[in-house]
Amino acid sequence: MKFPALTSALNLRRGALVAMMSAGVLLTALPHAPATAQVRGLPDFTELVEQAGPSVVNIRTSEKAKPAAGNSQIDPGLEEFFKRFGIPVPGGRTPRGGNNGGDDDAPQRRGVGSGFVLTADGLIMTNAHVVDGADELIVTLTDKREFKARVIGADKRTDVAVVKIDATGLPAVKVGDVSRLKVGEWVMAIGSPFGLDNTVTAGIVSAKQRDTGDFLPFIQTDVAINPGNSGGPLLNMRGEVVGINSQIYSPSGGYAGISFAIPIDEAVRVADQLRASGRVIRGRIGVRIDAVTKEVADSIGLGKVTGALLRGIEAGSPAEKAGLEAGDIVTKVDGRVVEKPGDLQRAIGAVKPGAKATLQIFRKGNYRDVVVVVAELEPDAKVAAAAKADAPASTAARSVLGLTVAELSEAQKRELRIKGGVRVETADGPAARAGLKAGDVILAIDNSDIADVKQFNAVVAKVDKSRRVTMLVRRGDWVDYLVLQPAK
């Protein structure tokens, strides 16, 4: 349907506007298009900075260690910038006025980070990796007062730490509601990138519930975050903290447009446990988990891609005692839906050790409930020690083949009816291109049987990078040969 009268009126108005423009008349916003509508997407952060800025602190750390002979990871031009302004160089070198006298026991500047005041009596929240290994912590407020701080507790699994300074009347942050945070919403970060105090950056929320395999789902943003921002607050437009800036995705180590923040509601729950007991207690059931692929979901009749696939069951674990089997798919924990592996990990982690959890599983075309008595997850110290022990074993294989592997338990060997082999933990580069996946079992390399991780490392160390490597791999009940071209 046409409206000739309205069309004629619009044409007259358009002609009048053209005439005015050609005559040099300066046009202002039309009465029906208020100026505020034109700038609604361009917020002014000045009031937020004035409101929340005093709650943000700078954290300097030092440790007793020999000064590094060099730092090849720092760009020479950037290092010169640090030296010129007397800023600590990331990695431990002191640009000017540092200790060059050879005193091995003297504290050496190690790095800088950020944090924010949680309570007026001096509790400060930051990242665990900011305070890890530090012999001394110095907290600097925006009014330039400095305090020595002590660590109340740190949780490496979530990268949350709480430190305390002896001060009162501090401006505490307002804690926001993460459930109200929306993708596309403006957010702001305040911190000390490269030691530059009180630096403000802004952007939008790129995604929520971003699963990176850790115990907490992250808030993804495009806010500029760099070394030194770690531990600082991510704020919404109401001046409330909605996250702790924690990680960046970057091939170079610097900001590349993607950053991650720990949701503040999860961080506060961790902080409450740290304040109460100095550590976080989590549950475990002793399973190795993986994602459910569309191919698997279709082939077993699951119907949709959901749940966590149990790749393996630890011998003597709560899962084994409850009757869980490798190949089961966990779809719910205590009635809460498990959509991906991280959901299962976090749901079990939240169960108090000694308590029971009801798991809905999908096995051989049917759903059933299994009750598991949850055990306690190993403390961070044991996990860190195990990771350190495994590091030399994983590094060589990762650099040459793109693989990290782990030992098979005796229960897994019995289940698979094999005498040896190693389980693939991660597969990248050459390994991924050849088709290897997490959960595969490597039985032999170039016709040499692989008994354990030690032998695997010894064989990989002798690999000729100029020729291809043949692996005998077991996946489920099937075995196959895969050919890899090592990275040079």
Q: What values do phi and psi take at 269, rounded to 5?
A: -60, -40
Looking at the fold, whether 342 and 368 belong to one and the same domain comes out as: yes
Residue 370 domain-assigned?
A: yes
Which residues are tagged catalytic?
Answer: 129, 159, 230
pLDDT at 40: 60
Q: pLDDT tens-digit profile of 260-280?
A: 999 999 999 999 999 988 888
Looking at the fold, whether 314 and 443 belong to one and the same domain comes out as: no
- Segment among 243-257, 263-277, 355-369 with least mean pLDDT: 243-257
- Name the pLDDT band for 8 (thresholds 50, 70, 90): very low
Looking at the fold, whether 425 and 351 belong to one and the same domain comes out as: no
Domain boundary among 233, 265, 280: 280
Residue 16 domain-assigned?
A: no
pLDDT at 132: 87
Looking at the fold, whether 97 and 170 belong to one and the same domain comes out as: yes
Q: pLDDT tens-digit profile of 155-185?
A: 988 899 999 999 999 999 999 999 999 999 9
Q: Which of 392, 17, 356, 127 has its CA nearest to residue 137?
A: 127
- Name the pLDDT band for 210 (thresholds 50, 70, 90): confident
Residue 3 domain-assigned?
A: no
Looking at the fold, whether 198 and 347 belong to one and the same domain comes out as: no
**Distance of alpha carbon 103 from alpha carbon 8, whole angstroms:** 88
Domain boundary among 245, 280, 315: 280
pLDDT at 305 over 70: yes
Looking at the fold, whether 311 and 415 belong to one and the same domain comes out as: no
The maximal CA–CA distance of the chain, rounded, in angstroms, is 91
Looking at the fold, whether 299 and 448 belong to one and the same domain comes out as: no
Looking at the fold, whether 287 and 275 belong to one and the same domain comes out as: no
Q: pLDDT tens-digit profile of 416-466?
A: 878 889 999 888 888 888 888 888 899 888 878 898 888 898 888 888 878
Q: pLDDT tens-digit profile of 390-418?
A: 444 444 566 678 888 989 888 888 878 78
Looking at the fold, whether 98 and 222 belong to one and the same domain comes out as: yes
Looking at the fold, whether 122 and 222 belong to one and the same domain comes out as: yes
Query: Count of domains in the chain?
Result: 3
Looking at the fold, whether 242 and 362 belong to one and the same domain comes out as: no
Residue 396 domain-assigned?
A: yes
Domain boundary among 350, 376, 402: 376
CATH number for position 154: 2.40.10.120
Looking at the fold, whether 122 and 146 belong to one and the same domain comes out as: yes
Q: Which of 252, 253, 280, 277 has its CA nearest to residue 266?
A: 280
The H or E element containing residue 361 is strand 356-363
Residues 397, 405 contacting (CB under 8 angstroms): yes
Q: pLDDT tens-digit profile of 49-74?
A: 999 999 999 999 887 654 444 444 55
- Segment among 121-130, 161-170, 354-363, 419-428 with least mean pLDDT: 419-428
- Name the pLDDT band for 479 (thresholds 50, 70, 90): low
Average model confidence (pLDDT) across the chain: 79
| pTM, entire model | 0.61
CATH number for position 323: 2.30.42.10
Residue 10 domain-assigned?
A: no
Instruction: Estimate to the nearest angstrom the gap between the alpha carbon of 200 and the chain centroid.
Output: 22
**Distance of alpha carbon 427 from alpha carbon 408, whole angstroms:** 17
Domain, as residue range, for 440? 380-484
